[in-house]
Amino acid sequence: MTAVPHVLPYLVAVWVFLVGCYGLATSRNLIHAVGCLAVCQSATYVLLLAVGYRDGATAPVFSDIEPGSRPLVDPVVQALALTDVVVGATVTALLLALVLQVSKRHGTVDPDELSELRG
Amino acid sequence: MSRRTRLWLVAVSGTGLAALLVAACLELPPFGGSSHPYGERAVRAALARHTANTIASVNFDQRAYDTLGEMSILFAAVLGCVVLLRQARDEHRARPEPAEVDLPVRRYALIVLPVAVVGGLYVIAHGQLSPGGGFQGGVVAATALHLLYLGADYRALERVRPVGLFEVADSLAVSAYLVLGLAGVLAGTAFLANTLLPYGTFNTLSSGGNVPLLNAAIGMEVACAVVVLLARFLDQAVEIEQGNGKDDKDDKDDKESEKENGKENGA
Amino acid sequence: MHHLLPLLVALPLLGAALLVAGGRRLPRRAAETIGCTVSGATAALAITLLLNSSPPLVEWAGGWVPVNGESVGIMLIGDGPALGMAALASLLTSAALAYSWRYFDEPPRRHAGSFPALMLVFQAGMCGFAIAGDLFNAFVFFELMSVVAYALTGYRIDEAKAVQGALTFAIVTSLGAYALLMGIALLYARTGELAMAQIGRGLDRTAVHGGPDALVLASFVLVLTGLLVKAAAVPFHFWLPDAHAVAPTPVCMVLSGVMVELGTYGVWRVYGTVFAGPGGIPPADLRRVLVVLGVLTAVVGAVMCWYQRHIKRLLAYSTVAHTGLFLIGIGVLTPEADDGIALYLIAHAGVKAALFACAGILLDRYGSVDELALFGKARQLRTVAALWGVGALGLAGLPPFGTALGKAVTEEAVGGALALVYVAASAVTGGAVLRVGARVFLGLGPRPKSDGEYETTGAGERPETRRRLSRVPDTMTAVPALLLAGALAVGTVPGFGGLVADAVNEAGSGGVVVTSVHWTVPGVLLGLASALLAVGLTAVAVTRPALLAAPDRALPLRRLQSGHIGDYVAWLLVGTTLLGVLALPGVLGA
């Protein structure tokens, strides 16, 4: 069982991703679905940051530490996570804008009641 | 597909995917391991270019081209929201009623507002030195303005926030980032190359060459973009109403366009 | 020359930023002129670079040229396929902008430039994705083109179908993108690199027992999920008909003509650079994955295409069917098939965009894109009818269209039963399009009847132009004519096929393999066969509608396309698991 702490953060990411997918598939409200999509995306944050972590390391910012004095976590994944956050926020904004229009045009935000496009 | 069938599908395929991903996790290097080749290279490169915040160096120097894409996504999302949240044919604008605000809320908002704006600008300005930067500071500064909506009312917010101006500033910030990038091409090095400006003294505001400039452009872009985005959503929440009523708003453009709409509907 | 590669992204972005900055003051005509000019200039740049891409260009953004094989920068690839896709995307964007010239839907109040600006950002996203040599950078541009595509799809906010289609598109594609990112994170954890070529080398270096393990498999599955969602392979395809049927016509031209194909291109690029080594996924497994999915996609796409009455939806399904054909072609992993697919893809883009452009004319003229409602109504549109017929035959693969040449080369490379899939899928989709033409433009056969309630009609749509067109503007007919001429030129201009083949081989095998691309007798016969089959199907469908309209048998398949986001997400998960199962033997055997 000693291996568990070494993979636990990764497993958390997997769990978060799958939970998000489950929520998306069973959602009864489009705003909830957009939230679930954000949950799926959070999995990518967790995974990226977990991949970049290093035991006993500090942030890769040298305004108050001497370069080379301490081990550092991976700065690249942090930059990637930042990009990812921005992407997530903008996609969410667009999705919410679309949900807003769906609710106006269809009078509902329940995916079960949207039946214009099929077959 | 019935709900039940869907649930079955999700259960079966989700189990398969979960098994695959868990097996993959067991093969990953142990959490907290010390092998980060790219990360270490990035730290060295950041120090060589006198950028104290390695993440800023990755974002605005080493992988500045990614940030260009990221900024464009934000720009596109703003443009998209402007288009998607425009006034539809069967809608009109209503003048929002001023709302009563409790005194403590008003006081709090008005005290915090300047602090938050300055805080946001500080975070932008120190992006290359300490945690933060254009993205984070821009969001803080932009949302800070909206304390006015909480503390006073919508019209007060509209007065300090001419959306059109912010849209223009947003696209100018995007252009600035691009022009800084193109300067590298014109100088014969490479797109977004950080070789034109001196790298300055380590750990000072002007260190890092191009980094502070790109960071500032991003800060401006993000702040303006968030303001415009929120403005569009607020418009929907407060001003735009369904039904083909008459516009109350004393806006010349709106009236003209309304007339046009009327003509078309009649035709 | 290689320093100019990033300009393919920067130029259209700058144009878009200027359009937005000038937004309120700019009259519509000026905005559209700027849009067309910038888009055209980018296309010219892409073509110039393409002509200079031998040997392939490589650019490190920021000037971070690798030291000892290691770099902290982002690599851009400027080889034939990359620049070819960028050029194709740019040309189609220009065509779409020219098509929408002054006639397209009223721009949002005081934002005259927003439609051309969005199209320019879209172009930048597609070019950026095409030339990305870094996996994370590819994700960023994947997202950029997706985000713009969502907004453009939902552009007509007054239409209930449009906003629903856009939302479905957005949710499914975003989920795919996050899967892609998970895959990238796994690859980064294993190799500590982000550039595609470096990841590939890292996988080979770290391969345990000289073969792939569960981590490689999982990252392969996740990355492919993202790309195949974009490419609209079955069962990831459900968003496509919903989105393409409702997007504004100029947007459809670009979406169906090139954005979807960029997903296929991404699969080719990522497999070739990341997973093709000994530490990646063995060729036999990739072949199994892509051929199975490809055949499934081609069959489902073709069958569903046949049963549509909503004309744009019908065209969307034909895109699905063709995606299947493309996937089979790149799946067999032979240089000849790659050449064939490259030609097929270029010519298909022209034909498909032209057909969408014609459908758009119908919509703007008659306020409907429903095959049954428009029966015999478009008799006076002779030019459009001719364009439609030519386009349909091009889609079916009639020689000497480029589609036929590409198809023939691929058929020869895949051989046997798979070649039959090509003939059948192109004949059925071409036949469906031809059937629409025969009914709508010529009014042939008995008036067709509606065949059930489980379908999407195309009636009651609002024209995209300010008011219904009384006469079709010249730009709207000139653009499809030019596009069709382009598709024809792909097959007829001597030497073009050879140029494309050389460019593809140089990128794929480093120029080791030399293939020759030319018309062969079996190829021409197969092309004629599929075109004849298409005509035959049309004749039967028009004269004896009851014979081929057996909706009951296709009904279970049609019920799957339920328009429900939850269903689509469930299918996405099924597809991901399917990918894993299909590629599993290679990992177990290692």
Strand partners, C195: C134
Q: Please state, in angstroms and rounded to a whole number, the distance separating the CA atoms of residues A3 and A10.
A: 12
Distance from CA of C22 to the nearest CA of B (A): 7
Listed range (B1-5, B236-240, C205-209, C476-480) with the worst mean pLDDT: C205-209
At C556, the pLDDT band (50, 70, 90 cuts) reads confident
B16-25, B88-97, B137-146, C264-273, range with the lowest pLDDT: B88-97
* pLDDT score, position C109: 66
Compute the distance between CA of residue C476 and CA of residue B149 in angstroms, rounded to an integer. Answer: 47
Which band of pLDDT confidence, cut at 50, 70 and 90, is reported for residue C455? confident
Mean pLDDT of A47-53: 94
Q: Are B219 and B69 in contact (CB under 8 A)?
A: no
Give the pLDDT confidence of A70-97 residue by residue, as tens digits: 899 999 999 999 999 999 999 999 999 9
Residues C572 and C236: their CA atoms lie apart, in Å, by 5
Of C9, C18, C158, Cβ closest to residue B175: C18
Share of residues in chain C with pLDDT > 70 (%): 96
Residues 30-89, chain C: which have Cβ within 8 Å of B? 59-64, 70-74, 76
Distance CA C80, CA C67 (A): 26
CA-to-CA distance for A102 and C165, rounded, in angstroms?
10
> Could you give the CA distance from residue C461 to residue C453 in angstroms, rounded to a whole number?
18
Q: Is the peptide bond before C235 cis (omega within 30 degrees of 0)?
A: yes
The 3-state secondary structure of B8-56, one letter per residue: HHHHHHHHHHHHHHHHHHHHCCCCCCCCCHHHHHHHHHHHHCCCCEHHH
Which pLDDT belongs to residue C550? 60
Single out the residue of C63, C20, C226, C242 nearest to residue C139, CA to CA: C226
* Three-class DSSP category at B203: coil
To test the contact with chain A by mutation, choose from C122, C140, C182 the residue with the greatest count of A C-beta atoms within 10 A, namely C182
For residues B165 and C95, give the distance between their C-alpha atoms in angstroms, rounded to a whole number.
32
Lowest mean pLDDT among B150-154, C179-183, C528-532: B150-154
Position of tokens 């303005």?
B145
Highest mean pLDDT among B106-110, B139-143, C102-106: B139-143
Instruction: Supply the ipTM of this predicted assembly.
Output: 0.96
Q: Per DSSP, what are the bridge partners of residue C67?
A: C70
Class of residue A117 by CB neighbours under 10 A (exposed 0-12, middle 13-18, buried 19+)? buried
The closest alpha carbon to C242, from A98, A104, A18, belongs to A98
Q: Give yes or no for residue B266 having a pLDDT over 60.
A: no
In angstroms, the Cα distances linking C392 to C43, C302, C346, C544 are: 27, 14, 16, 20
Q: Do B31 and A86 touch (CB under 8 A)?
A: no
Residue-wise pLDDT for C166-222, tens only, equals 999 999 999 999 999 999 999 999 999 999 999 999 998 887 666 788 999 999 999
Condensed to tens digits (0 to 9), the pLDDT of residues B22-62 reads 999 998 999 988 889 999 999 999 999 999 999 999 999 99
In C, which residues are within 8 Å of A118 by CB distance?
A: 454-456, 558-559, 561-563
Q: How confident is the model at residue C470 (pLDDT cuts 50, 70, 90)?
A: confident
Contact of B171 with C20, CB cutoff 8 Å: yes
Domain boundaries, chain C: 1-131, 141-281+561-590, 282-449+470-549
Lowest mean pLDDT among B153-162, B254-263, C553-562: B254-263
C7: contact with B, CB 8 A cutoff = yes
Confidence of residue C510 (pLDDT cuts 50, 70, 90): low
- Shortest Cα distance from A5 to chain C (angstroms)? 17
The verdict on a CB contact (< 8 Å) between A84 and C181 is yes
pLDDT higher than 50, residue B65: yes
* B248 pLDDT higher than 50: no
- Closest Cα partner for C16 from C84, C93, C101, C103? C93
Burial A9-27 (b: 16+ CB within 10 A, else e): bbbebbebbbbbbbbbbbb
CB C258 within 8 A of CB C92: yes
Q: Which residues contact C31 (CB under 8 A, 6 or more apart)?
A: C19, C22, C107, C112, C113, C116, C117
CA C158/CA A106 separation, integer angstroms: 11
Average pLDDT of the residues in C556-584: 93
- Rounded to an integer, the average pLDDT of C487-496 is 91
Q: How far is CA C327 from CA C132, C276, C332, C429, C581, in A?
A: 21, 16, 9, 17, 18
Q: Residue B259 pLDDT > 80, yes or no?
A: no
